[in-house]
Structure 1
Amino acid sequence: ILLKMLARVCSRHVYGSVRQMSNISNVETIIDSQSGIATVKMSQPPVNSLDKNLLTSITDTFKNLEKDSSISGVLLTSKFDGRVFSSGLNITDMFQQSDGHLAEFWSCVQEWYLTLYGFGKPLVSAINGHSPAGGCAMALMSDYRVMEKQKSIGLNETQLGIVAPFFFADLMIATVGRRIAEIGLNMGKLYSSEEALTIGLVDEVTDLESVVPNATKTLLKLTKIPQPAYKLSKQVQRNSPMETLRNDRAGDVALFVNIIQTSNVQAAIGGYLKALKQKKK
């Protein structure tokens, strides 16, 4: 009960002076004029699957927030409290699709990664649910991660018969170290929240009602660090993998299309989708 009261007090303090609310069909953005904090909530039912539409909405939202001088920092979370942060890249965008569709989809993935990982302002993820595959990668693009207890997170692509791209792998290596990342990536391991905290994949684990307040508290601290020092510090640490991608985006797209279109990968994706449908029944 006390935690509920504290969460409500914190919520009133942070969102008590809402300047504007921008609602796209699958992303909600709430801006607090007093703190300069923008809260971005993914809201694409049922599980924030990252299809072309959601990827584009998130990318466009962050590009606009980057340009808005009144914004000091961003909190990224999900509208679906306690269920899912994001289920990851939309697997149906990779199954029985044309080369052109796959190329367009992967270009959206690249732009999303470059925009969020290169975001110059403080970015904190409030992970209020499960966060596998691309959902994990998106959390890793932020500067600090607060996660709900007893949920799961990890780059589990190999379990689906596909491989995490090099820029996802780099996120994992930079966060937990090469050896732990290698084991996790090869096994397609999903970590519990508590395991993720132990290896440094997330920075805090707490109950659901404290995820957003705790994440906001850290974000407010980060916004006190002078700019452009904060942005330049991020660039120094993150520029190398982003430049690698920027220098050969077409080649990365071609590689993705070639891998996804192989018969064994298509069979693995098809098997996963079939199993998913049976599970829902």
Structure 2
Amino acid sequence: MSTARTLLCTRSIIKNLRQFSSNNYKCLDLSVNDDNNVTTVTMKRPPVNGLNLELLTELSDVLTDLKKNKSPGMILTSYSDKVFTAGLDIMEMHKPDPERFKQFWCALQDVWMKLYGSPFPTAAAINGHSPAGGCLLSMCCEYRVMVKNFNIGLNETQLGIVAPIWFIKTMLNTISIRNTELALTTGRLFKTHEALEIGLIDEMATDKADALKKANDFFKRFEMIPPIARVYTKDSLRGSDIEDLKKNREKDVQTTLSLITQPKVQQGLEFYLALLKNKKESS
């Protein structure tokens, strides 16, 4: 391809990305970095970026469009200075309508497959607490920078919920088998410095601005790497886990629905909701 044609294609991609970033989303803000054309996706569903059907659907759509427009990279972050995302919205699992829950869980599956297997590099600027589903989204990204003095981890067992196998595989591919077993069976949340020590995150930051800078610096590593080599290598590492979920999507939905509708699990969710209500009233 000639230099002129390459430049024309690059300009077309940048134009598409900027037009795409101007789209209006209810739960997300998008911006394109002028220096590297990396798209920053900011979750903005107050108060804690609970991952409900609407937010997950928007994020799935964004990931599809970034792939279509050949984005050079994406950073996932939060509007809040306290919470990256509190994880799956409890209201989607408390006394769930089966049809709504199926849509919700399928949307989560879609986001995981698209983010975990994205052809473009991804980074998470974790600027707040990141439990459960927040930890999952962070681990899907290839690089994680986390602001100090926050917590992260898959703490589903604390609510009586069993983490699906694809949650578990994502953590197994991020930290050691032993640390994964201890973390999942106890529902442990790691402080930023602890997460760094075990490899759950890659860098620690002083604040959001520092996290975004370090996340953007990550993409410089690929400036001299042929994209096709990077993409195929990533797929070799992650592709089999994605294929496993694709083959078992419906079973995964039904198994999860069966688990969360068990009386003891629903009681645990109700107790947690009561705690949140009391905390809100006392604040």
- Paired position in structure 1 for 2:238: 238
SS at structure 2 position matched to 1:124: strand
TM-score (norm 1): 0.90
Whether 2:25 is the aligned partner of 1:24: answer yes
After TM superposition, list the pairs within 5 Å mapping 1:38-187 onto structure 2.
Answer: 38-69=39-70, 71-80=71-80, 82-187=81-186
CA distance in 1, matches of 2:25, 2:224: 29
Please report how far the alpha carbon of residue 231 of structure 1 lies from its aligned counterpart in structure 2 after TM superposition.
1.1
Report the AA paired with residue 181 of structure 1.
T
CA distance in 2, matches of 1:79, 1:275: 24
- Paired position in structure 2 for 1:7: none
SS at structure 2 position matched to 1:25: coil
- Please identify, of 130-139 and 169-178, the stretch whose mean Cα deviation from structure 2 is larger: 169-178
Please report how far the alpha carbon of residue 36 of structure 1 lies from its aligned counterpart in structure 2 after TM superposition.
2.2
Please report how far the alpha carbon of residue 223 of structure 1 lies from its aligned counterpart in structure 2 after TM superposition.
4.8
CA distance in 2, matches of 1:106, 1:158: 18
Conserved 8 A contact 1:19-1:33: no
Conserved 8 A contact 1:72-1:223: no
CA distance in 2, matches of 1:107, 1:169: 18
CA distance in 2, matches of 1:95, 1:179: 32
SS at structure 1 position matched to 2:31: strand
- Paired position in structure 2 for 1:5: none
- Paired position in structure 2 for 1:36: 37
Report the AA paired with residue 111 of structure 2.
W
Please report how far the alpha carbon of residue 34 of structure 1 lies from its aligned counterpart in structure 2 after TM superposition.
4.6
CA distance in 1, matches of 2:59, 2:268: 28
Report the AA paired with residue 110 of structure 2.
E
Report the AA paired with residue 130 of structure 1.
H
Please report how far the alpha carbon of residue 182 of structure 1 lies from its aligned counterpart in structure 2 after TM superposition.
0.5
User: Which structure's residues are more often strand, by fraction?
Assistant: 1
Where in structure 1 are there 5+ consecutive unaligned residues?
1-17
Report the AA paired with residue 220 of structure 1.
K
RMSD: 1.4
SS at structure 1 position matched to 2:162: coil
State the Cα deviation string for residues 120-178 of structure 1 (Å, max 9, x = none): 11001111111000000000000010000010000001111211111111111111111
CA distance in 2, matches of 1:46, 1:265: 24
Whether 2:192 is the aligned partner of 1:193: answer yes
SS at structure 2 position matched to 1:84: coil
- Paired position in structure 2 for 1:15: none
Report the AA paired with residue 276 of structure 1.
L
Question: Quick one: structure 1 residues 258 and 223, their matched pair in 2 at CA, closer, same or farther if it must change by over 3 Å?
Answer: farther
CA distance in 2, matches of 1:84, 1:219: 24
Please report how far the alpha carbon of residue 224 of structure 1 lies from its aligned counterpart in structure 2 after TM superposition.
4.2
CA distance in 2, matches of 1:34, 1:194: 30
Report the AA paired with residue 58 of structure 1.
L
How many residue pairs match? The answer is 262
- Paired position in structure 2 for 1:266: 266
Conserved 8 A contact 1:75-1:219: no
- Paired position in structure 1 for 2:5: none
CA distance in 1, matches of 2:44, 2:276: 22
- Paired position in structure 2 for 1:226: 226
CA distance in 1, matches of 2:226, 2:124: 21
- Paired position in structure 1 for 2:10: none
Query: Aligned residues: percent identity?
Result: 39
